[in-house]
Amino acid sequence: MKRFLAAVGVCMLTALPAQAEQFVTVLTGGTSGVYYPLGVALSGIYGKAIPGAKVTVQATKASVENLNLLQSERGEIAFSLGDSLSGAWKGDEEAGFKTKLTKLRTVAAIYPNYIQIVASKDSGVKTLADLKGKRVSVGAPKSGTELNARAIFAAAGLGYKDFAKTEYLPFAESVDLIKNRQLDATLISAGLGVAAIKDLATSQEITIVSIPADVVQKVGDSAYIAETIPANSYSGQSEPVPTAAVRNLLVTHSGVSDDAVYAMTKAMFENLDAMAAAHAAAKQIKLDAGATQSPVPLHPGAEKFYKEKGLM
């Protein structure tokens, strides 16, 4: 009987389910933008820092799609623009959110997205006003980039109806059409040194179109700040160019455990060198009080980390 009970005990132990894996899907953006290489870097960091984690990277249409995916718990962490996150929290349907996305929680405010308007030199576009009657790409439909385009062009007294043609395309496709002389200009919202503009600048002469500070102010949204694209950020760009910028954030949802979010927050800030190696934009990520600022509440796991660091 003792041998029988011992055998039953062994069978019961081997039948117990294994410890559940920690799935971490990193939602990024198009592969020619900045979110994607940084997401790949994050996946490597998380794979080492979170025991048993199964980490994957998903290319998406960026901010708006990412936030909607988080709300439906089809990802654990995502990149987003600050103005898109604000629209999601409010349930701004015009911005691509049918209802308020109440599950969203902030992990960290990271680097700024520079709104970069690039035109082929042959197009003759030098100013925002010169875009009238031109063929312009404004980013994927209702993406964070396209929301930025609407805001900036409206502040400059322009609408899509003023363009000869309006295309709603991701970065790489927009650049390909400029190369093929099917477009004159595109607006790209990304970190400095974005691959798509670098690619275009090495294939032909370009103009980075200035967004003056008074236009930025007219946007009327505190998420938008006046910034400058430093000289020589791109081939042939010998002068600094005034522009607008919007802070990027890492976002999760309330269904992700406190321990997992704490580990993700800590791991990123302890491996900023790996992030910067993936893309220069990450050099602007700093562990300071700004990292806690967001239009959406902090996740308790991230809050624990910032309290440990004396930032809250």
Model confidence pLDDT, tens digit, residues 223-255:
899 999 999 999 999 999 999 999 999 999 999
| C-alpha–C-alpha distance, residues 205 and 312, integer Å | 48
Q: CB–CB of 123/208 below 8 Å?
A: no
Residues with Cβ within 8 Å of 283's Cβ and at least 6 positions away in sequence, in order, are 111, 276
Token pair 């363009």 is found at: 163
Residues with Cβ within 8 Å of 209's Cβ and at least 6 positions away in sequence, in order, are 117, 118, 119, 125, 126, 127, 128, 130, 131, 185, 241
Q: Phi and psi for 247 in degrees, rounded to 5?
A: -70, 140
Determine the pLDDT at residue 260: 95
| C-alpha–C-alpha distance, residues 59 and 27, integer Å | 6
Q: Phi and psi for 113 in degrees, rounded to 5?
A: -90, 125
Confidence of residue 13 (pLDDT cuts 50, 70, 90): very low
The percent helix, strand, coil of the chain (3-state, each to 5) is 40, 20, 35
Let me know if 67 is exposed, middle or buried by CB neighbors in 10 A (0-12, 13-18, 19+). buried
pTM of the model: 0.80
Cα-based distances in Å from 144 to 79, 138, 150, 284? 10, 10, 10, 20
Q: CB–CB of 228/241 below 8 Å?
A: yes
68 strand-pairing partners: none
Closest to 250 (Cα-Cα) out of 126, 121, 76: 76
Closest to 63 (Cα-Cα) out of 99, 104, 117, 23: 104
Determine the pLDDT at residue 3: 57
Q: Which two tokens stand for residue 247?
A: 């802070």
Closest to 77 (Cα-Cα) out of 97, 60, 95, 99: 60
Confidence of residue 27 (pLDDT cuts 50, 70, 90): very high
Q: Is 145 helix (H, G, I), strand (E, B) or coil?
A: helix
* More confidently predicted of 293 and 208: 208
Determine the pLDDT at residue 2: 55
Max mean pLDDT range (20-29, 99-108, 189-198) = 99-108
Q: Which of 19-28, 151-160, 183-192 has the lowest mean pLDDT?
A: 19-28
Answer whether CATH 3.40.710.10 is correct for domain 22-110+248-308.
Answer: no
Q: Is 190 helix (H, G, I), strand (E, B) or coil?
A: strand
Q: Which two tokens stand for residue 221?
A: 């949204």
Is the pLDDT confidence value at 303 over 50?
A: yes
Q: Is 209 helix (H, G, I), strand (E, B) or coil?
A: strand
Q: Is 35 helix (H, G, I), strand (E, B) or coil?
A: helix
224-229 and 206-209 beta bridge pairing: unpaired
CATH superfamily of the 113-246 domain: Periplasmic binding protein-like II (3.40.190.10)
| C-alpha–C-alpha distance, residues 75 and 62, integer Å | 13
Determine the pLDDT at residue 20: 58
DSSP state of 127: S
* More confidently predicted of 31 and 74: 74
Q: Where in the chain is the domain with CATH 3.40.190.10?
A: 22-110+248-308, 113-246
Residues with Cβ within 8 Å of 68's Cβ and at least 6 positions away in sequence, in order, are 88, 96, 97, 101
- Which amino acid belongs to residue 39? G
